[in-house]
Structure 1
Amino acid sequence: MTETDAIVALITLFEREGYARVEPAVLQPADVFVDLSGEDIRRRMFVTQDASGAELCLRPEYTIPVCLQHLHTHGAEPAGYSYGGPVFRMRPGESGEFMQAGLESIGRPDASAADAEILGVALEGLEHLGLTPSPTVKLGDMGLLNALIEALGIPPAARRRVIRAIVSGQGLDSLTDTEGQSQIGHAGLLAAIEGQAPHAAKAFVEDILSIAGIARVGGRSAGEIAERFLARAANRTGLPDESRMVIERYLAISGDPDQAALAIGDLAQATGLDLNAPLRAFEERTGFMAARGLDVERFSFSAAFARNLDYYTGFIFEVQDPRRTDGKPIVGGGRYDGLLQHLGAKAPIAAVGCSFWLDRIVEMPR
């Protein structure tokens, strides 16, 4: 089976399930991806300029372009989309141009059912492609993590830094202040941006650099310099030892979804933290998965599991082929309820989706 064959098979399934095929433009505005996915993605994008000097990039993924197209054609109305085609992103040891297929569910109010459907259709898609043996399914929940950190009363700047440390895979040990005295010379700027929303703080730093006539320093762009200042500002706000211990206890929770729900409930009761709403959503989603015939006991939940994209807000998952030795996923996705508002919607719009790495799927023997 070729990657093109795989796209045809998957799109047939997705359209049957109500996800209409779309094909966003290959050239996309670069700043959108940097603003919403972090400066890390800039180093992996293929960037160019149009005739007016505006920075463009070859489409590094489909989710953001599909969301932009949805806002233009449907606004806040619910719709489901499927796609299949090339994306362009630098990957160590792999081609920078590769084929992806996927689906996005936007605007559905029944979030738990939509989450279960996306995972269910993804696994059915792998069956259509003849994947054997059974894939490994990893689950996480950024909604629970965010609710825990908010319940602990951690200040916004430190909260963002904790989330970034976990999402990047560096862990809480990376929160130790290694900047030392280097912050003293920039104390005024750091104080000015501390506690601001990331987009506002980044824009402020970029404006300061622009006024000073600075475009690049040591090979870093203004956006990358702004990210470093944001990290330093967050570093000025410590994480209390008691909060760190609670977060570490949470991150140690793992098991199948039912086991994890019990452990999270026990932690909430022991610490007196209100996690009722996200825990109910977690348990409801597990129920919808079981109702779809998914064997949830075979799924592995880890509180420490995160996907290295800043826009996820709830349920996340990855599917792996157990024959692969590199640990790279063949399918990955999750819920991103805040993304469309960042892209221009007047209010948050519920959304969840996933993507298939077709090159990793077809290279394995059927």
Structure 2
Amino acid sequence: MTETDAILALIALFEREGYARVEPPVLQPADVFVDLSGEDIRRRMFVTQDASGAELCLRPEYTIPVCLRHLGTHGAEPAGYSYGGPVFRMRPGETGEFLQAGLESIGRRDIAATDAEILGLALEGLERIGLADGRVRLGDMGLLNALVEALGLSPAARRRVIRAIVSGRGLEALSEPDAQAQAEHAGLLAAIEGQAPQAAKAFVEDILSIAGIARVGGRSAGEIAERFLARAANRGGLGDEARAVLERYLAISGDPDQAAEAVRLLAKEAGLDLSQALDLFEERTGFMAARGLDVSAFSFSATFARNLDYYTGFIFEVQDPRRTDGKPVVGGGRYDRLLEHLGAREPIPAVGCSFWLDRIAGSAR
């Protein structure tokens, strides 16, 4: 099956399930992707300018353009979308122009059921285009965030712990000095060193205000100030008890039922309330089973996390066992913060996934 045929087959499936096909413009505003995904994405985008000098880029992915379209047409009302077409991103060892297909569910409040639906459609779609034995890997940013919050860490320390985990370096990264950031901002860090926290935060916010900066990468001036405070005070360390709990959590793996049991035991023994996140996790597993999915074949890993600020809960990827590079053929997850970053007045629940058709085409032959 060619990649074009695969798109047609997937779109037919998704439209049958109520996900209307959309095709956002290929040219997109570059700053939106940089603000939300960080400067790293700029090095991988194909960037140009319009007549006024504004930066534009060839569409590097579909999710952000689909969300922008949704905000312009539906606001907070629920809707489902499917898509298929070219995206453009510099990738070592792979082509810079390639085809993607996928679907996004925006605005639905039945979180667990929608998560299970997206995964179910991803697997059904793979089967339709010739890949029926993909291996499913699950993670849960909601569980991770709930655990870090329950440990009572400061907001700055919580963010640094999350960054260390999603970077793949683990908790050992917390002891590494942020040399580049310290050098770039040495003057400001020296100015706030030793000040009372509230006074230092107000000082940084004043500097940002003078510079005309309100938000960067979805973060407010206050949040940016807290990050500077964390660097100045070197708050990256963890107490022994918190570190032990996190290390135990990050060692959890197995099928979803085994993982839930292990997390519940950890929460009980550590005296932490993770009931809301765990209830959602188990409810989602129940909806997966109700769709006929073999959850015992799925692999949950507590270390599986996404390096984007807007992912808030369930994440997954599907790998082809015949590939040796470990790259997923489908990836997706819940991103309830994204639409608020794009201008929504309040968080709007959303979840979706994308198919890397150039990887699938070679695998399914």
Normalising by structure 1, what TM-score? 0.88
The alignment's C-alpha RMSD in Å is 2.7
Instruction: State how many pairs are aligned.
Output: 346
DSSP-derived class of the 1:6 partner: helix
Letter in 2 for 1:151: A
DSSP-derived class of the 1:238 partner: coil
Counterpart residue number, 2:188: 186
2:237 is aligned, of 222, 239, 247, to 239
DSSP-derived class of the 2:98 partner: strand
Cα–Cα, structure 1 residues 87 and 190, in superposed 2: closer, same or farther, change >3 Å? farther
In the alignment, does 2:20 pair up with 1:20? yes
How much does 1:168 deviate?
2.0
**Is contact 1:141–1:303 with CA below 8 Å preserved after alignment?**
yes
DSSP-derived class of the 1:249 partner: helix
Cα–Cα, structure 1 residues 209 and 186, in superposed 2: closer, same or farther, change >3 Å? farther
How much does 1:186 deviate?
3.4
**Is contact 2:129–2:364 with CA below 8 Å preserved after alignment?**
no
In the alignment, does 2:346 pair up with 1:347? yes
**Is contact 1:38–1:310 with CA below 8 Å preserved after alignment?**
no
Q: Render the CA deviation track for 1:176-199: whole Å, top value 9, x for unaligned.
A: 24247857543256669x99xxxx
DSSP-derived class of the 1:355 partner: strand
Letter in 1 for 2:120: G
Letter in 1 for 2:235: T
Cα–Cα, structure 1 residues 262 and 43, in superposed 2: closer, same or farther, change >3 Å? same
Letter in 1 for 2:285: T
Whole-Å Cα distance in 2 between the matches of residues 234 and 243 of structure 1?
A: 18
**Is contact 2:61–2:87 with CA below 8 Å preserved after alignment?**
yes
Q: Which blocks of at least 5 consecutive residues in structure 1 are unaligned?
A: 196-200, 211-221
Q: Render the CA deviation track for 1:273-312: whole Å, top value 9, x for unaligned.
A: 1100000000000000000000000000001101333321
Q: Render the CA deviation track for 1:156-175: whole Å, top value 9, x for unaligned.
A: 12211211221122222112
In the alignment, does 2:261 pair up with 1:259? no
Letter in 2 for 1:315: F
**Is contact 2:58–2:87 with CA below 8 Å preserved after alignment?**
yes
Counterpart residue number, 1:105: 105
Whole-Å Cα distance in 1 between the matches of residues 209 and 129 of structure 2?
A: 47
Whole-Å Cα distance in 1 between the matches of residues 256 and 315 of structure 2?
A: 13
How much does 1:74 deviate?
0.4
Matches within 5 A, 1:1-366: 1-132=1-132, 134-179=133-178, 182=183, 185-188=187-190, 208=211, 233-235=229-231, 236-241=234-239, 242-366=241-365
Whole-Å Cα distance in 1 between the matches of residues 94 and 205 of structure 2?
A: 32
Whole-Å Cα distance in 1 between the matches of residues 205 and 287 of structure 2?
A: 40
**Is contact 1:190–1:229 with CA below 8 Å preserved after alignment?**
no
Cα–Cα, structure 1 residues 202 and 283, in superposed 2: closer, same or farther, change >3 Å? farther
Whole-Å Cα distance in 1 between the matches of residues 9 and 123 of structure 2?
A: 13
**Is contact 1:11–1:21 with CA below 8 Å preserved after alignment?**
yes
Q: Which blocks of at least 5 consecutive residues in structure 2 are unaligned?
A: 199-203
DSSP-derived class of the 1:301 partner: strand
Whole-Å Cα distance in 2 between the matches of residues 309 and 26 of structure 1?
A: 22
Letter in 2 for 1:349: I
Letter in 1 for 2:244: M
Q: Render the CA deviation track for 1:117-169: whole Å, top value 9, x for unaligned.
A: 0000000000100114x110000000000111111111112211211221122
Bigger CA drift: 168-177 or 315-324? Answer: 168-177
Letter in 2 for 1:347: E
Letter in 1 for 2:143: L
DSSP-derived class of the 1:267 partner: helix
Taking only the aligned residue pairs, the percentage that are identical comes to: 73
Normalising by structure 2, what TM-score? 0.88
Whole-Å Cα distance in 2 between the matches of residues 131 and 318 of structure 1?
A: 14
Counterpart residue number, 2:201: none
Letter in 1 for 2:189: A
Cα–Cα, structure 1 residues 205 and 230, in superposed 2: closer, same or farther, change >3 Å? farther
**Is contact 1:37–1:311 with CA below 8 Å preserved after alignment?**
no
Bigger CA drift: 245-254 or 235-244? Answer: 235-244
Whole-Å Cα distance in 1 between the matches of residues 360 and 90 of structure 2?
A: 19
Cα–Cα, structure 1 residues 95 and 230, in superposed 2: closer, same or farther, change >3 Å? farther
Whole-Å Cα distance in 1 between the matches of residues 98 and 298 of structure 2?
A: 28
